[in-house]
Structure 1
Amino acid sequence: MKFVPHNYQRYCINRMITDPVLGLFLDMGLGKTVITLTAVNDLRFNRFAVRKVLVIAPKKVAEDTWTRESQKWDHLKMLRVIPVLGSIKQRIRAINTPGDVWVLSRDNVSWLVDYYKNDWPFDMVIIDELSSFKSNKAKRFRKLKSVRNHIHRIVGLTGTPTPNGLEDLWAQIYLLDEGKRLGKTLTGYRDNYFTPGARNGNVIYEYNPRTWADEEINERIKDICISMKAEDYLELPERIDNVRHIKLPDKAKKQYEELEKTMIADIDGETIDVTSAAALSNKLLQLCNGAVYDADGIYHEVHDEKIEALKEIIDANAGKGILVFYNFKHDKARIQKALKKSKLRIGELKNPDSITAWNNGQMDILLAHPASAAYGLNLQAGGHIIVWFGLNWSLELYQQANARLYRQGQKENVVIHHLVTAGGYDENVMDALEAKEVTQDSFLNALKARIKSVKGENDGKD
């Protein structure tokens, strides 16, 4: 296929060729992969500016997207893209295979750095989904930081650089410029641009950006970062969001309320911390979906109302591919069990073969966890309907997962169904996702509100 770049793509390609450091903050669907490979192809074969290029990507993207894109376009036929996957023996064989671009799962960054030690061979590194390096405490960040001075060219790709706020930017920008723009330490960055927020004693849980922080930070990084939104450059089909409120029958509602009350009774809403909040949130979301794990990891069904709602959506869209996002393993197990006797072709997003089968129309239902489908995968050929069976608090995963179908190349209007238990905790999550305000603060406040509600407290009354 012949690649005819749009003007914005040509601009990004030229910047990547001329700039040794670049953050490409492009929205989902704008073609980050083909832009990057086109620039690499020019740098490698026309300018002889790079010799060995490493791409670090989420596992599913490393397995499929980069190789598939290099084979798709005529101008990239000479570019040898080698996936570095599998066992240690397979990975060692791959990195010693002659090539131009080696694609590594981000889970193996530490292994690769330890393997080469002081003999780092890659003069250009591309980080696909730079936001996955947002934590300065993560081992993958520390390891890549240790070889940063051996990297002559570096590109960071992401559509969501600040999924949880401006604090996420520091580690990402550090990997690009080694601290030149936002400081050498996260502590210094916080001192300069934030004020302490929620805390428990001496432990500070969040930092609030100063009123001028956004503008100042953007000013400091704009010379090495390009930011573009899909709506400014693409004409996409309509996206239709549908929130389907699931009403529980009396018996299931009573069970849900009793279990919720039992768990909440052990937690003081005024002193709830992140650890207890995460555990409680997890349980409440399980209950909303219809089952809950016990201490032995065995799940117990509470209701099947979401299962029934999913069946109705499937029946109403007979013959159309439906991508179903689940949150817990018991969600997947219960869906598979409920649909087992149907004649539907049900698959699970596991590997490149499942992606191909879905895009070729060989599946009616594709089950996927949002963490497995969040980055880079092109699934738009297989369908235009999404069902969120269960929600989680990650705005980044939510946006990226929806972009698997709602992206360039989609021909149909994309319909996104959200199954939300009326009066359940996932209503709080849905509200936060819709407001695009998924922060630790909203997470804790939602739990505190539920605790007060269950305990019958009301701040407005005596």
Structure 2
Amino acid sequence: MQFKPHEYQQYAITHIINNPAAGLFLDMGLGKTVTTLTAIDDLLFLGEVNKPLVIAPLRVAEDTWTTEVAKWDHLNHLRVSKVLGTPKQRINAMAKRADIYVTNRENVEWLVKNYFNNWPFDMVVIDELSSFKSSKAIRFRSLKKVRPYFKRIVGLTGTPAPNSLIDLWPQVYLLDGGQRLGKTITSYREQYFKPGDRNQYVVYNWKLKEGAEDAIHKKIGDICISMMAKDYLNIPERIDNTIDINLSESAIKKYKQLEKDLVLELGENDITASNAAVLTNKLLQMSNGAIYSENKSVIEIHEEKLKALLDIIEAANGKPVLIFYSFQHDFDRIVDFLKSKKLKAVGLEDSKDIAEWNKGNIPILLVHPASAGHGLNLQYGGNIIVWFGLTWSLELYQQANARLHRQGQKDNVVINHLVTKGTVDEDVMRALGNKEVNQNMLLEAVKARIKEYKDVTE
């Protein structure tokens, strides 16, 4: 296929070529992979770089970059070596003669450990830069060690700071070594933020100082460019549906009793993000219809979401349906329930499944949002999404929806959210709607439940 770059893509290509450190905050569907590959090809031709490394989420490393090279005529000559699999397979891949080396982010620590003394890559591309948003993560600390050896670095993401601008510091540090936002996250926080909700010395969130947001954007504006799909693409409409799930009296009674028991277990203890996350995780399981017991067996509570899912599939009248699920028991229950109705649902496992879906050969595809959040092109296989289980992560939510709602999609994308009334599902939907999904929202939801049950028992 011949590549005729849009004006915004040519601008991004030029930005990469002209800036040794370049951040491309491109919205989903703007073609950041082919844009980056084109820039890499130009830089290789000009002799500006010799050995580029791409770091990406596993599924993207396995499939997307090689698929894009094969797809475009001007990139067909590029040889890609995938540094994946077992240590032996990785070592063999590193020894191959190639133009571009691709690995997954979990292998960053291994790469740095094994090649630190003779770091071979003079250019690094981080596909989904926001996956390096934690300064405490091993992958960040490992890459930081070899950052001085990069002649060039490109950071790609559609969501650089979905929850807070605090997330920007590690990402920008990898781009410029701390030139713009400071050498440490502590100094960055002190300059631009003030503590928000806190419990003594524990700060739950940070709030921007007045004028700080503009100041941060100005600081990084010379090396980072941001583009929104709505400004450049004519993508079919996205239609969001909320489908209320009403539980039977017995099911809601079970839910409320389990919710009460879990909430009251916390008692007078301080509510931390850790125990709040555990609690809401269990409540989300119950909203979906089942929960893991202490011995990991599955306790069924209701089938209402399964019935609603079946209604959607039947209404689709043969059109493919993409289902996002949260827990393994969701997956198992969906597959078994649909099988009992003579319907076959399969899980996304590899690039073959992606190809089959895009050919229209998979009528019902089950995907966990964390495994398909970035870079996977599923827009050719269907236009109907069902969120069977909701996520607190705005980033995962946005990226997952963008697997269908992106450039190349021909039809309006219908996103169905199954929301069990009177449960934590409603809290998650409010948070996603407000685009304020963060730790504080989760904590507030838990605190509200504790107050509710304490008031009843007192």
TM-score normalized with structure 1 length = 0.97
Aligned amino acid, residue 204 of structure 1: V
What's the counterpart of residue 419 of structure 1? 418
1:269, 1:448 within 8 Å by CA — same for their partners in 2?
Answer: no
Q: Secondary structure at the match of 2:117?
A: coil
Provide the C-alpha distance between the structure 1 equivalents of 2:81 and 2:329, rounded to a whole number of angstroms. Answer: 36
Q: Secondary structure at the match of 1:340?
A: helix
What's the counterpart of residue 173 of structure 1? 172
Shift of 1:206: 1.7
In the alignment, structure 1 residue 183 sits paired with structure 2 residue 193: no
In the alignment, structure 1 residue 290 sits paired with structure 2 residue 289: yes
2:197, 2:203 within 8 Å by CA — same for their partners in 1?
Answer: yes
Report which stretch shifted further, 143-152 or 264-273: 264-273
What's the counterpart of residue 38 of structure 1? 38
1:369-448 matches, within 5 Å, as: 369-448=368-447
What's the counterpart of residue 452 of structure 1? 451
What's the counterpart of residue 12 of structure 1? 12
Report which stretch shifted further, 292-301 or 154-163: 292-301
1:76-87 matches, within 5 Å, as: 76-87=75-86
Provide the C-alpha distance between the structure 1 equivalents of 2:209 and 2:297, rounded to a whole number of angstroms. Answer: 46
Shift of 1:269: 7.1
Q: Which structure shows the higher helix fraction?
A: 2
Provide the C-alpha distance between the structure 2 equivalents of 1:269 and 1:277, rounded to a whole number of angstroms. Answer: 13
1:52, 1:100 within 8 Å by CA — same for their partners in 2?
Answer: yes
Deviations along 1:13-50, whole A, 9 cap, x unmatched? Answer: 011111111000000000000000000011112x1111
Provide the C-alpha distance between the structure 2 equivalents of 1:336 and 1:85, rounded to a whole number of angstroms. Answer: 30
Report which stretch shifted further, 204-213 or 430-439: 204-213
Q: Identify if the C-alpha distance between structure 1 residues 269 and 37 changes in structure 2 by more than 3 Å, giving closer, same or farther.
A: farther
2:25, 2:227 within 8 Å by CA — same for their partners in 1?
Answer: yes
1:270, 1:448 within 8 Å by CA — same for their partners in 2?
Answer: no
Q: Secondary structure at the match of 2:380?
A: helix
Q: Could you say what the CA RMSD is over the residues aligned between the two structures, in angstroms?
A: 1.4
Shift of 1:295: 1.3
Aligned amino acid, residue 109 of structure 2: S
1:321, 1:364 within 8 Å by CA — same for their partners in 2?
Answer: yes
In the alignment, structure 1 residue 145 sits paired with structure 2 residue 144: yes
Shift of 1:342: 4.0
Deviations along 1:170-217, whole A, 9 cap, x unmatched? Answer: 000000000000000000000000111222222222211112111000
1:59-458 matches, within 5 Å, as: 59-268=58-267, 271-456=270-455
1:245, 1:421 within 8 Å by CA — same for their partners in 2?
Answer: yes
| Structure 2 residues not aligned, in runs of 5+ | none
Q: Identify if the C-alpha distance between structure 1 residues 315 and 269 changes in structure 2 by more than 3 Å, giving closer, same or farther.
A: farther
Q: Secondary structure at the match of 2:370?
A: coil
Aligned amino acid, residue 149 of structure 1: P
1:241, 1:416 within 8 Å by CA — same for their partners in 2?
Answer: yes
Deviations along 1:109-147, whole A, 9 cap, x unmatched? Answer: 000111102100000000000000000000000000000
| Structure 1 residues not aligned, in runs of 5+ | none
Aligned amino acid, residue 366 of structure 1: L
Aligned amino acid, residue 68 of structure 1: T
Shift of 1:268: 3.8
Aligned amino acid, residue 274 of structure 2: T
Aligned amino acid, residue 48 of structure 2: A
* Percent identity between the two aligned chains: 58
1:52-63 matches, within 5 Å, as: 52-63=51-62
Provide the C-alpha distance between the structure 1 equivalents of 2:344 and 2:289, rounded to a whole number of angstroms. Answer: 24
Shift of 1:85: 1.3
Shift of 1:431: 0.5
Q: How many residues align?
A: 458
1:242, 1:415 within 8 Å by CA — same for their partners in 2?
Answer: yes
Shift of 1:456: 4.2
2:335, 2:344 within 8 Å by CA — same for their partners in 1?
Answer: no
Provide the C-alpha distance between the structure 1 equivalents of 2:294 and 2:456, rounded to a whole number of angstroms. Answer: 30
Shift of 1:274: 1.3
Aligned amino acid, residue 304 of structure 1: E
2:3, 2:72 within 8 Å by CA — same for their partners in 1?
Answer: yes
Provide the C-alpha distance between the structure 2 equivalents of 1:48 and 1:440, rounded to a whole number of angstroms. Answer: 46
Shift of 1:455: 3.9
What's the counterpart of residue 3 of structure 2? 3
1:83, 1:103 within 8 Å by CA — same for their partners in 2?
Answer: yes
Shift of 1:164: 1.4
Shift of 1:360: 1.0
Deviations along 1:139-168, whole A, 9 cap, x unmatched? Answer: 000000000000110000000000111000
Aligned amino acid, residue 244 of structure 2: H
Deviations along 1:358-379, whole A, 9 cap, x unmatched? Answer: 1111111100000001000000
Provide the C-alpha distance between the structure 2 equivalents of 1:341 and 1:306, rounded to a whole number of angstroms. Answer: 15
Shift of 1:452: 2.3
Shift of 1:346: 2.1
2:335, 2:346 within 8 Å by CA — same for their partners in 1?
Answer: no
Aligned amino acid, residue 155 of structure 1: V
Shift of 1:353: 0.9
Q: Identify if the C-alpha distance between structure 1 residues 28 and 184 changes in structure 2 by more than 3 Å, giving closer, same or farther.
A: same
Provide the C-alpha distance between the structure 1 equivalents of 2:341 and 2:98, rounded to a whole number of angstroms. Answer: 46
Provide the C-alpha distance between the structure 2 equivalents of 1:61 and 1:172, rounded to a whole number of angstroms. Answer: 19
Provide the C-alpha distance between the structure 2 equivalents of 1:392 and 1:239, rounded to a whole number of angstroms. Answer: 19
Provide the C-alpha distance between the structure 2 equivalents of 1:194 and 1:269, rounded to a whole number of angstroms. Answer: 30
Q: Secondary structure at the match of 1:118?
A: helix
Shift of 1:457: 6.1
Provide the C-alpha distance between the structure 1 equivalents of 2:292 and 2:74, rounded to a whole number of angstroms. Answer: 52
Provide the C-alpha distance between the structure 2 equivalents of 1:414 and 1:362, rounded to a whole number of angstroms. Answer: 19
Aligned amino acid, residue 41 of structure 1: D
Shift of 1:343: 4.0
2:126, 2:156 within 8 Å by CA — same for their partners in 1?
Answer: yes
2:338, 2:344 within 8 Å by CA — same for their partners in 1?
Answer: no
Provide the C-alpha distance between the structure 2 equivalents of 1:422 and 1:428, rounded to a whole number of angstroms. Answer: 10
Provide the C-alpha distance between the structure 2 equivalents of 1:80 and 1:343, rounded to a whole number of angstroms. Answer: 44
